[in-house]
Amino acid sequence: MTATEPGGETAASLAAGLTAPRVLLLVPARTYRAADFLLAAGRMGLGIVIGSDGALQLGGHPVIQVSPGDLQGSADRIMARIGPVSAVVAADTPMLALAAAVAARMGLPANPAEAVTAAADKVAQRRRWAAASLAQPAFRIVAADASEGCLQQAAAEVGFPCVVKAVSLSASQGILRADDPATTTAAARQVRRILGTARRPADEPLLVEEYVPGQELSIDGLLTAGDLAVTAIFDKPCTPDGPTFEETLLTTPSRLPEPVLAAAVATAGRAARALGLTYGPIHAELRIDDRRGAARPTMLELAVRSIGGLCSRVLRFPGGMSLEELVLANALGRPAPRRPAAGPSGVLMLPVPQPGVLRAVEGRAAATAAPGITGLTITIPIGQRVQPLPEGDRYLGFIFAEGDTHQNVEKALGAARERLRIVIQ
C-alpha cells in the first residue's frame, strides 16, 4: 500500500472547511490499530490528520511523514504543517514519545515525556515501583557485559524459578523462564540473540526477576488528571507458566472476586502514578500472588496505550461505542461510558506454532460458523516468513466470541481454533 504526503498543502489548506474537532493521529508503520482508530474517528465525526513513518494509505486522510527516532525534527514538521488540532493520539507504542512531545508544544493535555520514556523501559518501571513500595517481582539488573557468574548470582538472589527479560521489547517477546543456573545462562543468551535481531543497542541490560505464580489479568483504563477509570478487565484462563509467555485466551468481564479486582485496580492506578502518568489510556498486566495465604495483586508491566492487537474488538460500550472511541473522547476531554455494556466475550490470539513461511490458513469458514463466534481476522499475509515467540513479535490472527457464560465463550473459541489448519513451511 502506498500513500504520499499531501503535496504543497499548507496548514491553512489542511484546516480549510473543517468544522469538527481535528485530531492528530500518530500511526507507526507496523500496527494493528490504524483501521479501528480511523473507524472510531469517522463514527465520532472528527477530522483526522495522520503522522506516520511508513507508506500508508489511510482513507485519503492527509499523511505527514514523521520519524519516532527524530522527535525534534518530526515535531517541527508537524507544527509547521497541520495547524491547530484539539488532541494528539498515538495509535500504538512507537509513537508515544512523539505524541507527548507534540501535545506539549501545542499546549494540549499530555503525559510528561519522561513518564512515557520510563513506562517504555522495564528497568525504569521496576525502579519507580520499588520507590513507591508497589507489589512487584523481586528483580536484579544485569549489565550487558556482566559475566556468567554475575548473571547466575542475580538469578540466585531473586530465587528459582526466575524470568529473564529484555528491557525494551514488548508483547512477550524476549521473555523466558529459567529454573536453574544452566537454563538462566541459556535464556540470557537467547534473549541477547533476540535483541540483536531486533537491532536494540548492544549495551542494553537484562532484567532477571522473580517468577510470580498465580492467575494473570489485564486492566485497561483511562487516566484523567491521574485518576484511573477502568474500561475493561480481562482474565487469562490459560495463564502461561513458561518457558515462554505468549498470551492466547482473554475473557471479559473478569470472574475474580470483587475485593481482589478492587485491589488490582488500585494497584494499577498507583503504578501509573508512580511512573508519572496522568493522562490517556493505560494497559496494566498483573498476577494474583496467593503464596502467602492472601490474594495480592502484583504488577508485572504497564504500557501507555490501550490493549494491543485487535483485542479491543470484543469490547462494546453503551451506545455501541468502541474502546478506540473512548480513547479519542478522553483525548478531547469528553465524558464517555466506561465498563462494557455486553455480556461475556473473549478473544483467542493465534500464536505462530513454528518458524517458516506461512502458506495457508485453512478452515476459516468452518471456524467462523462455530456457535458464538463473532469474527476471525488473520493479520499476517500468506507468503510472509513467521517466527514464534519469544523470537517473534506477532500473532497470526484473532478469533472473537460472545456467549451467555464465560464457559461457552471459551468453548466457542476452542471449537473455532480446532477447525483451523495453519500451514507453515
Taking alpha carbons only, the member of 187, 210, 227, 201 closest to residue 137 is: 210
**117-163 per-position pLDDT tens digit:** 999 999 999 999 999 999 999 999 999 999 999 999 999 999 999 99
Burial of 93: CB neighbours in 10 Å, binned 0-12, 13-18, 19+: buried
pLDDT of residue 390: 84
| Winning range, highest mean pLDDT, from 113-122, 196-205, 291-300 | 113-122
Across 2-16, 149-163, 322-336, 370-384, least confident range: 2-16
Kindly tell me if the per-residue pLDDT of 94 is higher than 60: yes
Q: What percent of the chain has pLDDT over 90?
A: 77
End-to-end CA distance of the chain: 26
Cis peptide before 84 (omega within 30 of 0): no
For 300-332, what is each residue's pLDDT tens digit?
999 999 998 999 999 988 888 999 999 999 999
Helix (H) or strand (E) holding 50: strand 47-52
Cα separation, 180 vs 160, whole angstroms: 6
352 confidence band (pLDDT: 50, 70, 90): very high
Place of cell 550487558: 144
Cα–Cα distance, 256 to 266 (Å, whole number): 15
294 phi, psi to nearest 5 deg = -135, 145
Q: Average pLDDT, stretch 242-256?
A: 90
Q: Is 31 within 8 Å of 43 (Cβ atoms)?
A: no
- Tell me the one-letter amino acid at 406: H
Q: Which residues contact 262 (CB under 8 A, 6 or more apart)?
A: none
Non-local (6+) Cβ contacts of 125 within 8 A are 118, 119, 275, 301, 302
Average pLDDT across the chain, whole number: 90
pLDDT tens across 395-409, in order?
999 999 999 999 999
In this model, does residue 3 exceed pLDDT 90?
no
Q: What is the pLDDT of residue 1?
A: 33
pLDDT in tens, 231-247: 999 999 988 788 888 88
User: Sheet of 87-90: strands edge to edge?
Assistant: 63-65, 47-52, 22-27, 87-90
Domains and CATH numbers, the chain: 11-110 (3.40.50.20), 118-133+212-342 (3.30.470.20), 138-210 (3.30.1490.20), 344-425 (3.90.1170.30)
Q: Is the pLDDT of residue 11 over 60?
A: no
What is the pTM (predicted TM-score) of this model? 0.90
Q: What is the pLDDT of residue 57?
A: 63
Strand partners, 296: 289
